[in-house]
Structure 1
């Protein structure tokens, strides 16, 4: 007799050999496990159950081996053991392919639940059979990492060692960076660097200018750059999986120079712009194009003009048939007296006697307004040197404060006044 006949690993098992025969003396017993004799001779045997103890037991009285008892089965239950993760692909895992991870384990009863983890975070849980799988379709580099599975069967839960997935992919996000700026003074040095994300790492970088092969290596340095070096550059990154090409970068050579009769003028004064060509390339002529604040100007752009306040900004020039040759930008400042002067009132509704009201003088001027003067019914009431939005506050306003107010703004270039603003005190 086996008591109990179903145990959990670690429990005590009692084997008792019973016989209906009349025995004399102290008979010895023989125990059998799966038909093979054991080195046990007692009628009653005790042991702690392990996985290896599961099987069929029978016994006989020594000397009466042919009268062996029927076999009785011992079932030993245990939590999942020897858990491992296998990968469907035995070689390199390429981005875009399908990969299946399978969790294998030894358990009694069979595993009832599998949970999958990536980098110690749960990603998938499933109740299934003894070799539950997790499939990643169209695998990407974001799927790379360490995976393990956790298996449970009601007796206990255990985890597998981690299995690393290394996803290989061709170069991507390839780009070109410039050591200083994509606008380079002629005669200076510039280095272009190619960057790319790839696994395995990029094995070869190749450089092109205007679609012609120029050089190889991750960096490409042009020493003493000339106007003939201006153009569109890009790089190609290559590994054993594939190739990727960067966007084009426009390398401008600053071999032109804008000259201005004055970089600070008053509105109405004449401005003259001249583009001087110092480019070393022999074929570059004198057909120039002009830019204002980075925007290409029309062919009718007049390089001699009377300055207006809206003409202030940056000016540069380029060669008409080569947009990679240009000048550095120069700044034109146009000074003008205050314009568009207006008075705003802090209260947008009715003004009640006893309240506080602030009048603000707003204007557009270059240089900024230096002096504001406030008038009520054409009489000066307040003068102040201040910022671009100078204010005049009337506290505890009374009916005597009602009337028409305006401000006068001056900045050294000129002085102008706002339209009147009427205050009606209720």
Structure 2
């Protein structure tokens, strides 16, 4: 067995027949090479600086006196002599033009008071206190360096080889499969680079983004289930201890059908009638869309408007308002855009008035006038105007509540000409004039205040007419005996002619006769006045337009008939007296 005594006095076996007794620092590094007689050598492999020391030999037998330790010791001196290089590089490979420091380092027995010489490929480069500086390292500086003590001894450091290297170069990307890749497919990108020492790491980037793709530090990048967002330019960066290099970008062409199709309205916001409007169909696709189509929705119908990308209205009108959409297609498919609503703002137009039940209405009935107008935005203010039929100034009613102007019960005062004005933020528009006429019922006008005067007037009138028509009555009486004279209507006071037209007298009250509908001209309604309510003579004398009518009433056997003779206001004929004659006065309507 071989052992050494440690600083604390314990034995540390370098070799023992019992392997478990060998010290931990020597296990696996020692081998007994001695023979049976007079040879007890041991071999230590991989000598380290810590192996230095005094070693003892000892053997032991199974006899009581069969144990012996050699009094002589073997001294092992270890010199740690090595080549030092700065800066440290993987595989001691340096780039061209670098500055490299090379020196010798000694430890152990050779360290004290020894000079060391540096050798390259066996050539003595001289002795340096610490470092030999190599400027602009190149191929002539590459080689195996070693250190030896001075004076020369059979001691030399292990050689250290310095090599000339380079950073990554010829960095490139290859795609498998090459060319276009359809959406949903897969592709593998491989980054390759020539570097000495070899590339230490890779990084992947897309579309010149500032950050690298996550978890992409290997030479391969695999992309699965591709979408349209995966398309773009990819490049890789190769990095080593001597530098980095970026590859040229590789375009990954992912083909897909149109997506994100939509309608863009220009200009945006509120669009006034008459302005320029452009509807553009926008879609993302690879390859780009090759065909566009426009459609307009009108109720349940869908109308085709053409095959173009942009639909332009140089001067948009109200009837262009509506819902539009477009479709974009390429060889891989098509997509429709969501419906876009084109809203055109315009001032009121086509303003008119609707009268219910009619613009001609009976007195006492309700009347509703409605102002109708087309506008966008909707009319927010209605103003009503009335023009008097006599041409007077217009009366104005303003309302914020709505377009309806209602009368619960109309009378003559409501007759007139009406028009309405509709207004919104875009402007205002007025309707055509609507004429409203109120029809009244024929009424018996009783002039109670003139009863006395009327009675006097009637008496005077009857007396005058009896005296004027006395002769005419006598003639008529003479003719009665020979023939029956049928009543007739003549334009003068000529005797009754049997051939004259007769009409039956209506039995009933004259106040029950309904007035006929008014014509388009403005006129006053005539009044029928009973005898008892006739106006006084003084009032009649003021009217130059009065005429007198004589009514003869005869009782006939079959029917009651009336003969009416139109008498002139100023006549020279003598009135015929007859006790059967009844006289009345009617006022002619004013024209």
1:109 positional shift: 2.7
User: Do 1:256 and 1:318's aligned partners in 2 also have CA atoms closer than 8 Å?
Assistant: no
Aligned to 1:10: 184
Distance 2:423 2:359 in 1: 25
Higher strand share: 1
Distance 2:377 2:338 in 1: 25
Distance 1:320 1:246 in 2: 21
Alpha-carbon spacing, 1:142–1:65, altered in 2? closer, same or farther (3 Å) = same
- What does the per-residue CA deviation read over 1:27-75, in whole Å, with 9 as the maximum and x for residues that have no partner? 9762533577553355554322332342133475866864766554322
User: Do 1:2 and 1:16's aligned partners in 2 also have CA atoms closer than 8 Å?
Assistant: yes
Q: Pick one of 172, 175, 178 that aligns with 2:352.
A: 175
Distance 1:163 1:242 in 2: 26
**1:102-181 equivalent positions in 2, closer than 5 A:** 102-119=280-297, 121-126=303-308, 132-181=309-358
Q: Pick one of 32, 50, 53 that aligns with 2:204.
A: 32
Residue 238 (1) aligns with residue 423 (2): yes
- What does the per-residue CA deviation read over 1:178-197, in whole Å, with 9 as the maximum and x for residues that have no partner? 23232222343322222222
User: Do 1:28 and 1:41's aligned partners in 2 also have CA atoms closer than 8 Å?
Assistant: no
**1:247-266 equivalent positions in 2, closer than 5 A:** 247-255=432-440, 257=442
User: Do 1:78 and 1:108's aligned partners in 2 also have CA atoms closer than 8 Å?
Assistant: yes
**Shift >4 Å, 4+ stretches:** 17-24, 34-38, 41-45, 58-71
- What does the per-residue CA deviation read over 1:276-320, in whole Å, with 9 as the maximum and x for residues that have no partner? 787xxxxxxxxxxxxxxxxxxxxxxx9xx879xxxxxx9935479
Distance 1:220 1:74 in 2: 72
Structure 1 gap ranges (5+): 127-131, 258-275, 279-301, 308-313, 328-426
**1:87-102 equivalent positions in 2, closer than 5 A:** 87-102=265-280
User: Do 1:253 and 1:326's aligned partners in 2 also have CA atoms closer than 8 Å?
Assistant: no
Residue 57 (1) aligns with residue 242 (2): no
Structure 2 gap ranges (5+): 1-173, 388-392, 446-490, 492-500, 504-513, 527-591
In structure 1, the residue corresponding to 2:283 is in which secondary structure?
strand
Distance 2:245 2:396 in 1: 95
Alpha-carbon spacing, 1:64–1:118, altered in 2? closer, same or farther (3 Å) = farther
User: Do 2:233 and 2:249's aligned partners in 1 also have CA atoms closer than 8 Å?
Assistant: no
User: Do 1:31 and 1:37's aligned partners in 2 also have CA atoms closer than 8 Å?
Assistant: yes
Distance 2:415 2:249 in 1: 94
1:99 positional shift: 1.0
Higher helix share: 2
- What does the per-residue CA deviation read over 1:152-196, in whole Å, with 9 as the maximum and x for residues that have no partner? 233332233332222222222322222323222234332222222
Does 1 or 2 have the higher relative contact order (CA < 8 Å, sep 6+)?
1
Q: Pick one of 513, 516, 528 that aligns with 1:316.
A: 516
1:223 positional shift: 4.7
Q: Pick one of 203, 219, 222 that aligns with 1:46.
A: 222
User: Do 1:83 and 1:105's aligned partners in 2 also have CA atoms closer than 8 Å?
Assistant: yes
Alpha-carbon spacing, 1:316–1:52, altered in 2? closer, same or farther (3 Å) = same
In structure 1, the residue corresponding to 2:319 is in which secondary structure?
helix
User: Do 1:28 and 1:43's aligned partners in 2 also have CA atoms closer than 8 Å?
Assistant: no
User: Do 2:235 and 2:246's aligned partners in 1 also have CA atoms closer than 8 Å?
Assistant: no
Alpha-carbon spacing, 1:326–1:237, altered in 2? closer, same or farther (3 Å) = farther
Aligned to 2:367: 190
Alpha-carbon spacing, 1:156–1:223, altered in 2? closer, same or farther (3 Å) = closer
1:137 positional shift: 3.1
1:201 positional shift: 1.4
Report the TM-score, using the length of structure 1 for normalisation. 0.53
Alpha-carbon spacing, 1:23–1:213, altered in 2? closer, same or farther (3 Å) = same
User: Do 1:88 and 1:100's aligned partners in 2 also have CA atoms closer than 8 Å?
Assistant: yes
Distance 1:8 1:219 in 2: 65
Distance 2:374 2:246 in 1: 73
Distance 1:320 1:18 in 2: 103
1:13 positional shift: 0.8
1:17 positional shift: 4.5
User: Do 2:441 and 2:515's aligned partners in 1 also have CA atoms closer than 8 Å?
Assistant: no
Aligned to 2:395: 213
- What does the per-residue CA deviation read over 1:86-128, in whole Å, with 9 as the maximum and x for residues that have no partner? 22223321222221112333333333222223235432212xx
In structure 2, the residue corresponding to 1:316 is in which secondary structure?
coil
1:2 positional shift: 0.7
How many residue pairs match? The answer is 271
Alpha-carbon spacing, 1:229–1:61, altered in 2? closer, same or farther (3 Å) = closer
Aligned to 1:336: none
